[in-house]
């Protein structure tokens, strides 16, 4: 792990879940703890980068030397990401963004009524695809949380979202993925792949930052 390999670079990272409000007291969300994204922020800072960490609601301390922006919803996260990436070199989307949000947020608490109620959901913007679709995008890294056909689905996302790299984790396996201390991932980029065996999220984050730094210099020779 080379501690200077990202010096002079601005790295923006999303982490944690988003919360999509239903009414003043309820929301839709997921089990992301933010651990993977926060570990990446720490590893990027250790590699010399200036780091902006955009975090959904999590219970973690901010890693040293990182600027942290707290957000709640996918819409908030997109706004913060668009702002922070205006001068960034690497964008890493480790957040578990809700794909859909309630079509309407009730102004008052929704009252209990019949045996069944129906929620109508609207698609959220895709944050990493929006950033990767900018006219001069940063080096964009996505994550793929899959429960089946890991490589196939991840490579599809790599292409569809026009990413430079995708980190696939099998979230159906116990002990890795959402809210655990460890992870195990397969990394894909156009023309290559690498498997990283189960390790702590801190150890994996360092390996991932190293891989990103190598790909960044391979795709953008100075
Ligand atoms: O937070 P932890 O508890 O440590 O868990 C880590 C993790 C499992 C959440 C993390 O490793 C991970 O896999 N994050 C991505 C989860 C996810 O939402 O995957 P996805 O396959 O649905 O999304 C693909 C990519 O698009 C991701 O980079 C995601 O951030 C991005 N995305 C998705 C939807 C959306 N509206 N906007 C996005 O930017």
How far away, in angstroms, is 39 Cα from ligand 1 center?
A: 15
Take residue 141 and report the two structure tokens written for it.
Answer: 């890294």
Closest to 24 in 3D by CA, of 102, 96, 77: 102
Cα–Cα distance, 24 to 36 (Å, whole number)? 29
**What pLDDT is recorded for position 141?**
98
pTM value is: 0.97
Inter-axis angle of helices 35-46 and 201-219, nearest 10: 60
- Is 30 part of the annotated catalytic residue set? yes
Residue by residue, DSSP assigns 81-142 as: HHHHGGG-SEEEE-SB--SEEESS--SSPPPP-SS-----EEEPP-HHHHHHTSSS--EEEE
- To which residue do tokens 């989307």 refer? 93
Residue spans per domain, the chain: 10-107+116-219
**What pLDDT is recorded for position 84?**
98
Q: For residues 146 and 173, is the Cβ–Cβ distance under 8 A?
A: no
For 10-107+116-219, give the CATH class.
alpha beta
Q: Which secondary structure element, helix H or strand E, spans residue 133, and what is its range?
A: none
State the CB neighbour count (10 A cutoff) for residue 69.
17
What's the full length of the chain, in residues?
A: 222
Mutate to test the pocket of ligand 1, among 19, 71, 94, 205 (most ligand atoms within 8 A of CB): 94
Binding site as annotated, residues? 99, 109, 125-128, 143, 157, 161
Closest to 85 in 3D by CA, of 14, 168, 188: 14
What are the pLDDT tens digits along the chain (222 aa)? 677 899 999 999 999 999 999 999 999 999 999 999 999 999 999 999 999 999 999 999 999 999 999 999 999 999 999 999 999 999 999 999 999 999 999 999 999 999 999 999 999 999 999 999 999 999 999 999 999 999 999 999 999 999 999 999 998 989 999 999 999 999 999 999 999 999 999 999 999 999 999 999 998 755
**What pLDDT is recorded for position 25?**
98
Take residue 149 and report the two structure tokens written for it.
Answer: 């056909």
Closest to 165 in 3D by CA, of 198, 191, 131: 191
For ligand 1, atom 33, the nearest C-alpha belongs to: 97
Cα–Cα distance, 212 to 195 (Å, whole number)? 14
């Amino acid at each position: 792990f080379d501690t200077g390999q990202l010096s002079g670079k601005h790295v923006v990272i999303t982490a944690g879940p988003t919360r999509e409000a239903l009414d003043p007291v309820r929301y839709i969300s997921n089990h992301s703890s933010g651990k993977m994204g926060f570990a990446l922020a720490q590893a990027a800072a250790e590699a010399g980068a200036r780091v902006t960490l955009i975090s959904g609601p999590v219970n973690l301390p901010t890693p040293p030397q990182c600027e942290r922006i707290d957000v709640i919803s996918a819409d908030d996260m997109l706004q913060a990401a668009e702002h922070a990436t205006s001068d960034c070199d690497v964008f890493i989307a480790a957040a578990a963004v809700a794909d859909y949000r309630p079509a309407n947020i009730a102004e008052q608490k929704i009252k209990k009524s019949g045996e069944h109620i129906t929620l109508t959901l609207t698609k959220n913007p895709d944050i990493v695809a929006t950033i990767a679709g900018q006219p001069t995008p940063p080096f964009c890294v996505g994550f793929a949380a899959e429960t089946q056909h890991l490589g196939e689905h991840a490579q599809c996302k790599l292409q569809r979202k026009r990413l430079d790299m995708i980190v696939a984790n099998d979230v159906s396996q116990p002990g890795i993925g959402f809210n655990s201390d460890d992870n195990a991932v397969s990394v894909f980029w156009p023309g290559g792949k690498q498997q990283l065996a189960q390790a702590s999220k801190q150890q994996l984050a360092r390996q991932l930052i190293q891989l990103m730094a190598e790909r960044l210099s391979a795709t953008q020779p100075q």
